[in-house]
Amino acid sequence: MVYNEYKNPLTERYCCKEMNYIFSPEKKFTTWRKLWVALAEAEKELGLPITDEQIEEMKQNINNIDFEYAKEMEKKFRHDVMAHVHTFGKVAPKAMPIIHLGATSAYVGDNADLIIMKEALLHIRKKMVNLLNNLKNFALKYKDLPTLGFTHFQPAQLTTVGKRAALWLQDFVMDFEELEYVLDNLRFRGVKGTTGTQASFMKLFNNDSEKVKKLDLLVSKKMGFDKVLKITGQTYTRKQDTKVLTVLAKIAESAHKMATDIRLLQNLKEVEEPFEKTQIGSSAMAYKRNPMRSERVCSLSRYVISLVFNPFMTQATQWFERTLDDSANRRISIPESFMGVDSILNLLINITDGMVVYEKMIEKHINDELPFMATENIIMEAVKKGGNRQEMHEIIRVHSMEAGKRVKMEGKQNDLLERLANDDRVPLSMEEIKSLLNPRDFVGRAPEQVEEFIKEEVQPIIEKYSNDLGVDVEIKV
């Protein structure tokens, strides 16, 4: 471990090994070599004089990368692609004459970026399936448990713990649908040449336009893409980066909202994220149980959301067929967006796998507020017993104001029910009044809404990707 150099916290502390590898130099440059193999294979299949021996030599050395030699070559040429052409040619000398034949740098650079982003999106999808499943289980478990709803963070009509979780779940389902769309519509750059005209390949194939078209599609299929951009400049349109980073930012947006709710609920002592046996909440206040995972989710989410502006500005400022001012920005903003979302999903999977619900505290908060919320029901029942609606409304209004004053100014219990039961003008006994205060009578269709939503929109996703369930996440710190 080197302690005198900056290390990116996303790679050191937060994201998983798999996502780290996806954006590693080894993954990048082995992908370049696979692209060179695919190009050579396709060119041979379409009639160019490339031998099986050359292709086999390339295949045998895909993972045989001398990174130190590549550094020397890049320092010499000031060109990363040519440095790696020579590094590959060093271990595949018979293939050296045909490596990168007819291609421009963007052939390996752009296509590798698309391959890597697609793999990273699939990794994110797998994590999301596990988060959706955890939230589904939590929502179903607590679909019937009444809890105070909040609007403006003020007590409002009751909902259920499960229904609130379903709100988080719905946001992530919407993000998942967009993720699926982006994956299904990510287009390969393909084989397009220096400015996207395929002029170099037309020369290679003696102006046989059909062969050049086939070459483009053949290489794309070999690299796992059914859809190919028909038109490019030197690079693929950076609007594709915008689509990808936007869906990642939307996942972060949903995560921030959910984690914020959990932080507020933990303050209310109603719901709590997992707290490990030896975990310390505060170096000074030994009793504290801070929602550190949820706080970290919010912190990382803000960062991911901030990164989404990069592809918008990059695409907006690309001149004509390309400029190189996109390169340094994309090397940072794309990997860090993926690593940030991976870190966020790891945390949320961990949280939802062990989230604690304190039912008695939830019940206490309901009992503090329910008498006020039940006043309309009390009025209706009093009218049934012979009371005058307007008179009952005024009586209850006055008692409510006094009970509220007692709670807020004197710090005492809400005694509205006792006041009403002891008022001879109200034709209801305490038992009759309390019978109107069953919390389950105030949650409407919340339980059914949870069941219907999960059955119709969530379960089909879980079933479709059931093989992705069961990921192990590690929270490093």
Q: What digits encode the pLDDT tens for the residues 124-182?
A: 999 999 999 999 999 999 999 999 999 999 988 999 999 999 999 999 999 999 999 99
The catalytic position among 282, 429, 435, 466 is 282
282 is catalytic: yes
Query: What is the percent of the chain where pLDDT is above 90?
Result: 82
Residues 255-278 have a mean pLDDT of 90
Give the integer Cα–Cα distance in Å for 119 and 110.
14
Sort residue 190 into left (φ over 0), alpha (ψ -120 to 50) or beta: left
Contact 96, 68 (CB under 8 A): no
Q: How confident is the model at residue 411 (pLDDT cuts 50, 70, 90)?
A: confident
Provide the pLDDT for residue 432: 87
Q: How confident is the model at residue 1 (pLDDT cuts 50, 70, 90)?
A: low
The catalytic position among 84, 105, 123, 152 is 152
Report the chain's mean pLDDT, rounded to a whole number: 94
Burial of residue 52, with CB atoms counted within 10 A of its CB: 0-12 exposed, 13-18 middle, 19 or more buried: exposed
393 is catalytic: no
Helix (H, G, I), strand (E, B) or coil at 159: strand
Provide the pLDDT for residue 44: 98
Provide the pLDDT for residue 276: 62
DSSP percent split of the chain into helix, strand, coil, nearest 5: 65, 5, 30
Residues 206-223 have a mean pLDDT of 98
Residues 64-81 have a mean pLDDT of 96
pTM for this one? 0.93
Domains of the chain with bracketed CATH? 16-98 (1.10.275.10), 105-135+162-272+284-356+455-467 (1.20.200.10), 375-436 (1.10.40.30)
**Residue in 292, 294, 309 with CA at minimum distance from that of residue 248:** 309
Residues 6+ apart with CB under 8 A from 179: 121, 124, 125, 128, 247, 251
Residue 228 forms beta bridges with which residues?
188
Locate 212 and state its tokens. 């050049």
156 phi, psi to nearest 5 deg: -130, -165
How many CB atoms sit inside 10 A of residue 29's CB? 22
**Residue in 72, 70, 77 with CA at minimum distance from that of residue 33:** 70
Residues 24-42 have a mean pLDDT of 98
